Structure 1
């Protein structure tokens, strides 16, 4: 087990249920600001930075998705919580698949957003990792905005978009590259059928980074999974459609707590 002590925050340490939110590649725990503010104050909502992202250090060696999942379990252990709900977006949703398959006794419910059994191709992810290590992060920030947000949102909320791109531009290339390589090594086709936690899969209708057909494939592979499409949003659907996203998460967690 290759765990790294990652940065996390709790909104209500004494609350329940505990819900842990797993962020997208190239973001940090603050991408969940709207959910932390809107989910019930009685819940214990935990956000964290993936290793090599935000305030979390880069781990030893090149991590796997299972290593990222083990970090989540380590957070739950650290706060003294045995069972928790997990909501992950993009790579966070891939981490959720590993959690659901490997820790069925720990995960009460799953929300997997903007994700799939795989994300991109192994070759594309390896090439992306190599390029950010060679050239830095500026180029990936330049191409990410139209993949993360719809044209309409970019026009109406340029300050939100620029803040996300600025964060991406200044993050450690090694942290981003490690996450790409972890994704390159993951294939959920064998993992998904063993997930037993009640699972909600959310997909942005205009998501170019993880297209809706990939979410549908994931929903077909996870026993009993429910698929919901979110209108008028792209990859960061929790940012573009915060009220609907939060409502769906709350309803799913409460129904399966």
Structure 2
């Protein structure tokens, strides 16, 4: 079982894995590809149960999602890589950096949380999706992804991301909701040794900036940045600002890691 991935950039460049949010695919990162693929071999993967990746029966856990990413690295012949993940992608990134530290060189965590309760809300969402498909929650979810101003100014962009959400296999989405319900990575974060950038979004109702601050406090020597005028999918609302932060983090002092 191998995760689906889209690869851009020079084959001999340092590898940068990009993990997307719940209910999206690697296409979520399209706004950053041009800025990153000149310097990195950018690997945008689909989580288990999402996009072109397999949809095995549940239960899923963050541990399972992380091990599938390690399997992708093995499949690609990559010993270690940089990693940036948003939301669910960030949760997987924290697990990877804590449990497979030799595989993660530098880490960026965007609009995510180490513990995102209450668990019963996630379990109820999973049950609702299984019963009624993703269209029943799409408008509520997307309203948390973008600020009202962005949604009004860029309706076509918002509609495209809504389509991405509703195309997600309901069984995979629900199983990932249950993985988030059971997740608590807070005690793992002290073990992270990769240089880490934590990015919050000022207007994010799903994982408010306080969650980013908590992660940054728990990871040794992590750096915190907050992007203004953005909700949960900050990389879409503020593509240039996010790309600049990622480039600066993954190219310290103007160079790339070997």
Instruction: Give the TM-score band, short-chain normalised.
Output: over 0.9
Counterpart in 1 of 2:163?
166
- Correspondence list, 1:67-106, <5 A: 67-106=64-103
Q: 1:146 aligns with which of 143, 147, 151?
A: 143
Structure 2 CA distance, aligned partners of 1:43 and 1:178? 32
Q: Which among 118, 123, 134 is matched to residue 115 of structure 2?
A: 118
Q: Equivalences for 1:103-252 in 2 at 5 Å? A: 103-252=100-249
- Is the 2:9–2:37 contact (alpha carbons within 8 Å) kept by the matching residues of 1? no
Contact conserved, 2:57 with 2:171, CA < 8 A, in 1? no
Q: Deviation string for 1:54-109 (max 9, x for gaps)? A: 11121243121111111111111111111100000001000001000011111001
Distance (Å, rounded) in 2 between the aligned partners of 1:149 and 1:236 = 6
Cα–Cα, structure 1 residues 227 and 179, in superposed 2: closer, same or farther, change >3 Å? Answer: same
CA drift at 1:146: 1.7
d(CA) in 2 for partners of 1:60, 1:170? 18
TM-fit CA distance, 1:9 = 1.6
Supply the distance in 1 between the matched residues of 2:11 and 2:45 (Cα, whole angstroms): 18
User: 2:12 and 2:18 mapped to 1: Cα distance?
Assistant: 15
What do the CA deviations read for 1:8-54 (whole angstroms, capped 9, x no partner)?
12113513210000000000111111111221414100001111111
Partner of 1:54: 51
* 1:54/1:40 CA distance change after superposition, 3 Å: closer
Per the TM alignment, residue 167 of structure 1 is displaced from its structure 2 partner at its CA by 2.1
Contact 1:89–1:115 (8 Å) recurs in 2:
yes
TM-score (norm 1): 0.95
Match of 1:164, SS state, is helix
Using the TM superposition, give the Cα deviation of residue 170 of structure 1 relative to its aligned residue in structure 2, in angstroms: 3.0
Equivalent residue pairs, number: 254
Q: Give the conservation status (yes or no) of the 8 Å contact 1:87–1:93.
A: yes
Gaps of 5+ in 2: none
Q: Please, which of 16, 19, 30 is the counterpart of residue 16 of structure 2?
A: 19
- Among 5, 9, 12, which residue is 2:2 paired with? 5
List gaps (5 residues or longer) in structure 1.
Answer: none
For 1:167 and 1:204, how far apart are their aligned partners in 2?
A: 21
Q: Is the 8 A contact 1:107 1:197 kept in 2?
A: yes
Distance 1:61 1:54 in 2: 16
Say what the alpha-carbon RMSD is for the aligned residues.
1.3
Normalised to the residue count of structure 2, the TM-score between the two structures is 0.95
Post-superposition, which runs of at least 4 consecutive aligned residues in structure 1 deviate over 6 A? none
Residue aligning to 1:30: 27
SS of the counterpart of 1:138?
helix
